[in-house]
């Protein structure tokens, strides 16, 4: 079946560098995508979201890019800090309002 | 402060025992959800409720039950029929027909 997936299970970056976390999706009908950050033992925190009628959306230090042609979603974190170390999940919404389908997550490790 | 409160943080279940996980929110959200998280996997939907006194099965509802008697509360019971209950359980809420979920801090359930 169609599902959200991630290219890299673990990403290690040096403090101060930019991070790029990737996510592939296969459901062309998905019209909403969202990124969450989860620290160990805690619940996921919303980072940023984007609808399919947009290609790019920026937040504070984060940017989400959506490439519908190749069904690819990425999260860019600028000037990565040790506090950014966490698991990052992307999710897509197949049914309006009540069904987010989550990927397995990518571990981001920031080296000082 | 507005938010979602899950309790307890850690819970142990004996063989054949039913246990109930609590989830309370004061965000005035109509919709509430329960997800299960296993290591290395994405979140999977157990049950969700869009309105008081109504709820629907998610992808993995077998062995679980819920109730929604109050808007603020959505307890999850893990019954003895759930043969592999060890997991991290996450409760979430959202405005009605809004894809963005707000998560609680989770309950880790383990089997004795």
Cβ neighbours of A91 in B, within 8 Å? 42-43
What integer pLDDT is reported at residue A65 of this predicted model? 98
Q: How many angstroms separate the CA atoms of A43 and A95, rounded?
A: 23
Substitution target in A3, A44, A88 with the highest count of B β-carbons within 10 Å is A44
Among A29-43, A86-100, B41-55, the minimum mean pLDDT is found in A86-100
Lowest mean pLDDT among A59-73, A90-104, B38-52, B74-88: A90-104
Name which of A21, A5, A23 is nearest A72 in CA terms.
Answer: A23
Predicted confidence at residue A76, as pLDDT, reads 98
Between chain A and chain B, how many beta carbons pairs sit less than 8 Å apart?
60
Q: Which of B41, B101, B105 sits opposite A42 (nearest CB)?
A: B105
Q: What is the pLDDT confidence band of residue B27, given thresholds at 50, 70 and 90?
A: very high
Distance between CA B98 and CA A20 in Å, rounded? 27
Indicate the residue of A46, A89, A96 with minimum beta-carbon distance to B42.
A89
Q: CA-nearest residue of chain A to B90?
A: A43
- The string of pLDDT tens digits covering residues B86-108 is 999 999 999 987 889 999 999 99
Q: Provide φ and ψ at B56, rounded to 5°.
A: -130, 150
Distance, in Å, from the CA atom of B34 to the CA atom of B106, rounded to the nearest integer, reads 10
Residues in chain A: 112
Tell me the per-residue pLDDT of A21-79, one tens digit each, with 9 for 90 and over: 999 987 888 999 999 999 988 999 999 999 999 999 999 999 999 999 999 999 999 99
**pLDDT-derived band of residue A86, with 50, 70 and 90 as boundaries?**
very high
Per-residue pLDDT tens over the stretch B59-88:
999 999 999 999 999 999 999 999 899 999
A67: left (phi over 0), alpha (psi -120 to 50) or beta: beta
The pLDDT score that the predictor gives to residue A1 is 33
Pick from B42, B101, B108: which is nearest to A104 by CB?
A: B42
| Nearest to A74, CA basis, from A98, A94, A58 | A58
Chain A residues touching residue B42 (CB < 8 angstroms): 4, 89, 91, 101-105
**Are B89 and B70 a contacting pair, CB within 8 Å?**
no
pLDDT category of residue A95 using cuts at 50, 70 and 90:
low
Our CA angle for B91, B97, B101, nearest 5°, is 30
Q: Is the pLDDT of residue B1 over 90?
A: no
Tell me whether residues A102 and B43 touch, CB distance under 8 A: yes
């Amino acid at each position: 079946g169609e599902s959200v997936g991630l290219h890299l299970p673990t990403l290690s970056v040096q403090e101060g560098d930019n991070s790029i976390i990737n996510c592939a999706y296969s459901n062309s009908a998905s019209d909403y995508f969202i990124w969450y950050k989860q620290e160990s033992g805690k619940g996921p925190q919303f980072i940023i979201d984007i609808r399919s009628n947009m290609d790019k959306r920026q937040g504070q230090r984060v940017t989400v890019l959506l490439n519908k042609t190749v069904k690819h979603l990425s999260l860019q974190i600028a000037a990565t800090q040790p506090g950014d170390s966490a698991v990052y999940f992307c999710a897509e919404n197949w049914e309006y309002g009540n069904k987010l389908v989550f990927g397995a997550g990518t571990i981001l490790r920031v080296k000082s | 402060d507005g938010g979602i409160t899950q309790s307890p943080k850690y819970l142990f279940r004996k063989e054949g025992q039913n246990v109930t996980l609590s989830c309370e929110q004061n965000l005035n959200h109509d919709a509430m959800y329960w997800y299960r998280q296993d290591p290395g996997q994405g979140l999977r939907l157990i049950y969700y409720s869009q309105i008081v006194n109504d709820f629907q099965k998610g992808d993995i509802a077998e062995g679980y039950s819920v109730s929604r008697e109050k808007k603020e509360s959505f307890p999850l019971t893990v019954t003895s029929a759930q043969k592999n209950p060890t997991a991290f359980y996450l409760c979430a809420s959202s405005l009605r027909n809004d894809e963005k979920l707000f998560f609680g801090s989770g309950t880790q359930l383990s089997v004795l």
